[in-house]
Every structure is written in structure tokens, then in C-alpha cells.
Amino acid sequence: MNFSVQQADRETSARLGRLSTAHGAIDTPAFMPVGTLGPVKGIDPADIELLGFRLMLNNAYHLYLRPGHKIVAEMGGLHRFTGWPGAILTDSGGFQIFSLAKLCKVTDAGVSFQSHLDGSTHFITPETAIEIQEALGADIMMAFDHCVALPAEREVVRDAVRRTTLWAQRCQASRRRTDQALFGIVQGGLDVDLRMTSARDLVGLGFEGYAVGGLSVGESKAEMYAMLDVTVPELPASKPRYLMGVGMPEDLIEGAARGIDLFDCVVPSRHGRTGSLFTSFGRVVIKQARYLRDEQPIDPACGCPVCARYSRAYLHHLFQVKEMLSSRLNTIHNLWYFADLMGQVRSAIAQGTLRSFRDEFYRSRDRAVMDDSSVGVADADVHRHAGGD
């Protein structure tokens, strides 16, 4: 993996970059669709590629439980197994273990837990996490980290930061393959000093990239952005920066303005399956009766294949009758929106207009709320990918 910064924004901390991998190059800032078990639910890899994505996230915890990382390795690794030709990043599974698993017990040695699927007992160590991800064959692996629920007492967060650094060292030492990049994950909850300590400790270990973890777990947006403000400056400008599990449109813009290069989230696909569609003027909730006879596309300004062909009335019908095609079309539209949004962010950085682009984004959303053209634009969403997608 190679990463280069091509241009920095004069007014913000945003930058344009290029992330090169054995499975293609990615222009950053970029959003990764989440295919927890391999696919984005209901979407063919060819669709993901056609929508412009070149990097996808798969989850090591879920793939370890089924079909098993050894089976994936026998099948030639994730790229061959899933038919996805682009780059793959695998989450180590730490967040999923702590949020999903039953009877989870954490020590410096590792984590013992019961599977959320069948109650079977497992023990994952930093060494195991690397073994799993090397078997899966991802282009980018994540170090095993200790993510704590918020709010948490400072001593609990401090201990998790210490353990995250310890595990990061062990992840580094246990690597066997030389063709995969490894990112460290900054923890620290909402504590400024602990965030900075975690970042500095991990930078000292010399990872190929760095992720900001432990956010988007119930804190306010102001708190999340404040943690980015103190964490990102501690990370090397020459390495990619990844904000884990964060993906509402405003978060992508705010994260990019603070120097984040990579994002992932289940928002486009999960919202698509529940009939919540992102548009240039806010959000359309397609199940609402107002769309029963609406001949317009989801968004007249959208260039996606769904808006080019189908009316709101038809998409409303598909959702109401629980047709499988509903989830597929809604997800394709939402993924197009996210790909297009990131393209607009990159263009704004290139032109030195990201700040004005951000201001106009909020003005458009505020106008939509006032006009009642959109429903639930500012509502809270659970958008971490613990449960998979």
C-alpha cells in the first residue's frame, strides 16, 4: 500500500490523497460501503464497482464465525471468494466482540466470549486477529483494539487505551505477510488527554495508517468533532486517516474538513432497506402515503440509474409490498448519493471551496426542513456496523 497527499485545502485541514493498493487506487477522501459478511446486502459487486467505489469493508469477526477464515483462505481469499475486484479493508472485530458477544471477558491476554450466533465459546488475541485477517487476504488490516462503551469512567478508558497500545504492539509483532497494510486504532473515549496519548503511542509504533475508533457510539456530534479536532493533528500527515463506523452525510463533510481520508458505515444500505433515501434536499421516506401517486424520481437532481428509470410511486409500491427489489434499488440510490457526495467534497477541496460547500450543504438541508420537503433530516441514527450489514 502507498499513500500520497496531492493537495491540501487552504481554509480547512482537508486534503486530497491517493491510496494505492494491489487491487487498485482510491482517491481520497473516500467512503467505503460495508459488506460485513462479504457482500453489501442485495448488491452485486459489479454494481458497487459501477457506482464508483474501489474500496470495501468486510468484518473479520463475522467472517471468523461463518463461514470461517480458514474456509475463505481455502477458497482463495476474500477477493476470489466474493468476486470483488477492488481493495478490501477488514475490521479486526474488536468493536463487534465488545458490542455483540455474550459473556465477554477482557484481559491483557485477549478476549474470551460467546458467539452471538450460537453461544459457542471463543478466545481472540491480537495474534489471532492478525491470523484471521491474513487468512482473509485483505489489502488493509486493522489492529485489535479495546473499544469501551460510552459513557465510561476515566480509569476504564485509560485501561482500554493502555491495552489497545499493548495489543497494537503484539499485532505488529505477529505479522507474517508483507503484502498487507496494518492500521492502528486510536481509542480514548471523550477524554482529550487519553485521545492524544493513544494517538502518540500508536504513531510511535509506525503503522501504515491510523484509524480513529470508539466514536459514533452515542455521543453528540459536537463531542465527536471535538475528539477529531484533538486527535487528527497527532497523526502523521503522510499516512491515511480513517474514521471508523461514521457515515451520515454531514459527518463525512465535517470529517473531511478535519483531515480524515477514509470513512465507512452501514447507513446507505441499512437506510435503503428501511426506505429512507438520501437526496440533495434532505431525506425521502418512501413508505409515506404522500408518494402513492408521485411520478417524480426520488431526486430530480440525481443521476443514478434508479432516478433515471423509476418513480417515487413505484418505489413506494415496492416497499409496501415488501418486494426484494425495493431494498436493492433503494440501496443503489443511497450508495450513488454517497459516492457523488464524496466526489463533490473532493472537487471542493481541489477548488479551495470546501468551507463554502459545507455552508451550502447546511443551508440546503435547513431549507428542506422548513419546506417539509424532507422527513427526519436531523434525527439520530444508530449507524455503527456492530450487527453487520
Candidate list 9, 47, 91, 191, residue with the active-site label: 91
Q: What are phi and psi of 380, to 5 degrees?
A: -80, 145
Q: What are phi and psi of 22, to 5 degrees?
A: -65, -20
CA distance 113 to 124: 8
Contact between residue 328 and residue 275 where contact means Cβ atoms under 8 Å apart: no
Helices (H), 150-266: 154-174, 192-203, 221-231, 249-257
- Rg over alpha carbons for the chain, rounded to the nearest Å, is 20
Determine whether 264 is an active site residue.
yes
Query: What is the SS3 assignment for 267?
Result: helix
- Partnered with residue 113 across adjacent β-strands are 122
Q: Which helix (H) or strand (E) holds 5?
A: strand 2-8
Give whole-number Cα distances, 54 to 89, 117, 229, 290, 332, in Å: 11, 31, 28, 37, 15
Determine whether 201 is an active site residue.
no
Residues 6+ apart with CB under 8 A from 67: none
CA distance 359 to 120: 50
**Using DSSP, how many helices (H) and how many strands (E) does the chain show?**
15, 16
Candidate list 145, 264, 340, 389, residue with the active-site label: 264
Q: What are phi and psi of 232, to 5 degrees?
A: -55, -40
Type of residue found at 18: R
CA distance 240 to 385: 21
* DSSP 8-state symbol, 34: B
Residues 6+ apart with CB under 8 A from 80: none
CA distance 299 to 303: 9
Residues 6+ apart with CB under 8 A from 323: 317
Give whole-number Cα distances, 33 to 17, 90, 205, in Å: 19, 12, 29
Active site residues: 91, 264
